[in-house]
C-alpha cells in the first residue's frame, strides 16, 4: 500500500495546511478538524486509494482508512504542522461552562494513565498495611508514597505540555513556566511565610502542586504573549531573545497575577462558606459537598487547610472532610456506574479503575477528569447526590476527628466518643454510593460508540440496521463465484450470493424500496441506517422481460424485515436456461469500514443474518 501517495492526495483534497486546523486518528479513521468543510469534495476524497468512506460528526471530518490508519497518519503528519488536540473554532458550540469543561477535559485526558497509576498506588498503600504485607513505617512505604503523589503534585507540568498543544504555545516554554510555579526554592520560600516580591511586585505565597486552573489560564495567556513578541522581535535576534522575554514576562504574570487568583477565590469562598455555616450549617455542607469536585479542580480547597489539617477529637472538622466524604464516594460511584453502563471497552476499564481509586483511596482526579467531567451527566449526578448527603450531614452534625482523605478505607477518621457519628458516616457513605450510582444510571452518558466496533449478535428474527438477513432460502456462495464479472469482481460492492431453494424474496431489514426494475429481476432497498442493498435475482434474467416474476411491493414503499417483496418461479427460470444464483450486494460499501459474510455459512434461512456491516 502506497501510504505516502494516499496521504498526499488526502492532504490536497481537504485543502492542505491552510484548511486543516488539526489532525489525529483513532483505530480506523483520520479525524480532521477543518476550517471550511465546504471546500472539500467528498466524492473526490472517497475515490482516493485506501479511503473506505467519509463521515462528518462532532465537528470532525472523518476519513475511514481501516486498520492501517496509523501509517496513513504518519505520512500525513509529515506534510504539515498539525496539533494533537483540536483548536477551538470561533463557532464553537455550547455555553461558556461547557466550552470551559471541554478545554479541561481535552487537556486532562492524556494525563489519565498517570493519575490512574498514582491513584492505584495510593490504594495499595492503604490496603497493604491493613493486611500486614507492608509496614507504614518502612522505607518502601515512604518511597512508594511519593511514587503515588508524583502524578498529582506535578500535574501542572504535565498540563502545561498538553495545554501548549491545545493553545499552540511552544511546549517547553509552557513546561518551564509550570516548573517555576513548582520549583523547590519557591516552595521553600512559601513555607517560610516571609513576604516575597519580584521587581517590586508582591508574590502571593501559594502552593501550586496538584492545581489545574492556574496553569491552564497561564498557557492560554502565553499564546498571546508569544504572538506579541514574535511580531516585534527581529528575526536575527528571535532565537535567543524571544524565549528569554517569554519566560520572564510569563513567569512574573504567573506568580503575581494568575497564580494567586485561585488563592484569592479560595479565600473568598472560604469566608462565604464559613458565613453560611454560621447561619445554616446544613446549607453550607450541602453546597460544599455539591461543589467539592469543582473546588478541588481549581485547587481552592487548600484555602480551607487551616480547618481540616488540624482535625482532632478536640477540634473536629464539621465542614470540609465530611463534605469530601460524600463528594469523593459520589465520584467513585459515578465512575463505577459508567463502567457498567458504557459500551466502549476502554472507557469501561478506565471508569472501573477510577471508581476504585476514588472509593478506596479518596483519589478522585482520575474519575473527575477521565469520566464524570468529560461526560458531564455523571458529574451532575454526583453533585446532586453530594448536595443531598451534605444536607443530611448538616442536620446530624457529622464530625471528622482526624485528617485523612475521606474514603471507604478512611472511615475510622469519623470514630469518636459519640458512637452515632460513625453510624452517620456509614449512612452517608452508603447513601452517596447508591444514590449517585442510580442517578448516573438514569441520566446515562452520551457515549460516542465507535463505528468500527464489531456488531454483536441479536436475537434471531429481529431487525438490526447493521446486519442483513437472508432475502431468500438457499445455498450461500461467495460473490467471487458468481458467473458475472460485475459481481464477482465486486464492482457493485461487497456481498454474497444465494442459490435459491424457495420462490419468495423477502425484505432483509427494515427500510424502503428504493427502486424496482420494470423487468422485476432486481430490486434496490435502503435500510433505516442508510445501507443500500441490491438483490439481483438470477444472471441475465433481464432478458426475460419480467416473465416468471411477480412484484409484491412498489418503489418508495416502506418495508419491514421478512416482508415478501417478489415472487419468483425459479423452476421456470431454470427451464428457460438461466442461472438462478442471486447476488446480494451492498452498493454503498465504501460508506462502511467493512461488509463481511457470516463465517462458515453454507445455507441460509429467512431468519438468519448473512451479512454484517462494520
Active site residues: 26
How many alpha carbons fall within 13 Å on the CB side of residue 131? 8
CA 300 to chain centre: 27
- Local structure of 546: helix, strand or coil: coil
Distance CA 515, CA 509 (A): 16
How many alpha carbons fall within 13 Å on the CB side of residue 345? 3
How many alpha carbons fall within 13 Å on the CB side of residue 612? 15
Distance CA 293, CA 365 (A): 9
CA dist 429 to 91, 327, 361, 604, Å?
43, 10, 14, 55
CA dist 94 to 42, 98, 99, 272, 274, Å?
27, 6, 6, 30, 34
- Grid cell for residue 582: 442471486
Nearest to 589 by CA among 468, 447, 453, 478: 468
Radius of gyration over alpha carbons of the chain, in Å?
Answer: 31
Other C-beta atoms closer than 10 Å to the C-beta of 343 total 12
Nearest to 436 by CA among 289, 291, 336, 297: 336
Amino acid at each position: 500500500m502506497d501510504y505516502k501517495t494516499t496521504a498526499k492526495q488526502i492532504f490536497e483534497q481537504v485543502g492542505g495546511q491552510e484548511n486543516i486546523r488539526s489532525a489525529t486518528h483513532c483505530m480506523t479513521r483520520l479525524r480532521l478538524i477543518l476550517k471550511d468543510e465546504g471546500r472539500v469534495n467528498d466524492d473526490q476524497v472517497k475515490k482516493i486509494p485506501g479511503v473506505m468512506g467519509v463521515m462528518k460528526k462532532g465537528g470532525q471530518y472523518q476519513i475511514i482508512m481501516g486498520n492501517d490508519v496509523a501509517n496513513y497518519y504518519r505520512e500525513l503528519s509529515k506534510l504539515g504542522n498539525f496539533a494533537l488536540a483540536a483548536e477551538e473554532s470561533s463557532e464553537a458550540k455550547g455555553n461558556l461552562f461547557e466550552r470551559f469543561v471541554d478545554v479541561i477535559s481535552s487537556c486532562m485526558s492524556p494525563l489519565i494513565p498517570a493519575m490512574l497509576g498514582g491513584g492505584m498506588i495510593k490504594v495499595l498503600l492503604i490496603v497493604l498495611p491493613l493486611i500486614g504485607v507492608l509496614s507504614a513505617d518502612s522505607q518502601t512505604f515512604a518511597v512508594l508514597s511519593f511514587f503515588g503523589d508524583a502524578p498529582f503534585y506535578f500535574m501542572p507540568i504535565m498540563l502545561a505540555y498538553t495545554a501548549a498543544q491545545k493553545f499552540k504555545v511552544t511546549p517547553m516554554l509552557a513546561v518551564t513556566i509550570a516548573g517555576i510555579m513548582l520549583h523547590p526554592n519557591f516552595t521553600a520560600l512559601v513555607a517560610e511565610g516571609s513576604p516575597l516580591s519580584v521587581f517590586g511586585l508582591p508574590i502571593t505565597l501559594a502552593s501550586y502542586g496538584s492545581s489545574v486552573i492556574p496553569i491552564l489560564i497561564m498557557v492560554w495567556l502565553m499564546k498571546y504573549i508569544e504572538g506579541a513578541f514574535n511580531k516585534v522581535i527581529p528575526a536575527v535576534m528571535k532565537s535567543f531573545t524571544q524565549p528569554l522575554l517569554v519566560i520572564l514576562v510569563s513567569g512574573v504574570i504567573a506568580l503575581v497575577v494568575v497564580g494567586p487568583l485561585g488563592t484569592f477565590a479560595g479565600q473568598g469562598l472560604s469566608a462565604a462558606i464559613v458565613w453560611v455555616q454560621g447561619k445554616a450549617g446544613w446549607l453550607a455542607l450541602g453546597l460544599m459537598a455539591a461543589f467539592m469536585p469543582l473546588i478541588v479542580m481549581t485547587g481552592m480547597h487548600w484555602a480551607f487547610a487551616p480547618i481540616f489539617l488540624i482535625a482532632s477529637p478536640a477540634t473536629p472538622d464539621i465542614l470540609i472532610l465530611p463534605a469530601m466524604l460524600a463528594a469523593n464516594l459520589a465520584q467513585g460511584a459515578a465512575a463505577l456506574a459508567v463502567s457498567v453502563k458504557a459500551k466502549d471497552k476502554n472507557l469501561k476499564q478506565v471508569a472501573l479503575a477510577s471508581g476504585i481509586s476514588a472509593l478506596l483511596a479518596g483519589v478522585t482526579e482520575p474519575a473527575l477528569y477521565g469520566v464524570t467531567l468529560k461526560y458531564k451527566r455523571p458529574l451532575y449526578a454526583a453533585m446532586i447526590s453530594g448536595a443531598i448527603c451534605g444536607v443530611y450531614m448538616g442536620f446530624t452534625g457529622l464530625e471528622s476527628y482526624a485528617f485523612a482523605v475521606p474514603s471507604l478505607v478512611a472511615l475510622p477518621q469519623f470514630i469518636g466518643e459519640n458512637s452515632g457519628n460513625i453510624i452517620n458516616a456509614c449512612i452517608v457513605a452508603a447513601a452517596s454510593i447508591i444514590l449517585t450510582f442510580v442517578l448516573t444510571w438514569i441520566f446515562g452518558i452520551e457515549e460516542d460508540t465507535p463505528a468500527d466496533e464489531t456488531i454483536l449478535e441479536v436475537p434471531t428474527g429481529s431487525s438490526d440496521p447493521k446486519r442483513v438477513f437472508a432475502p431468500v432460502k438457499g445455498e450461500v456462495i461467495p460473490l467471487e463465484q458468481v458467473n458475472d464479472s460485475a459481481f464477482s469482481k465486486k464492482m457493485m460492492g461487497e456481498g454474497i450470493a444465494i442459490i435459491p431453494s424457495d420462490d419468495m424474496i423477502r425484505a432483509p431489514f427494515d427500510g424502503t424500496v428504493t427502486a424496482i426494475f420494470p423487468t422485476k429481476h432486481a430490486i434496490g432497498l435502503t435500510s433505516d441506517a442508510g445501507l443500500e442493498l441490491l438483490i439481483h435475482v438470477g444472471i441475465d434474467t433481464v432478458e426475460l422481460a419480467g416473465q416468471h416474476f411477480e412484484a409484491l411491493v412498489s418503489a418508495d414503499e416502506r418495508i419491514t424485515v421478512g416482508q415478501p417483496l417478489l415472487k419468483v418461479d425459479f423452476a421456470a427460470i431454470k427451464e428457460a436456461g438461466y442461472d438462478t444464483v442471486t447476488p446480494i450486494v451492498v452498493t454503498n460499501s465504501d460508506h462502511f469500514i467493512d461488509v463481511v459474510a457470516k463465517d462458515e455459512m453454507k445455507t441460509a434461512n429467512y431468519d438468519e443474518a448473512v451479512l454484517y456491516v462494520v
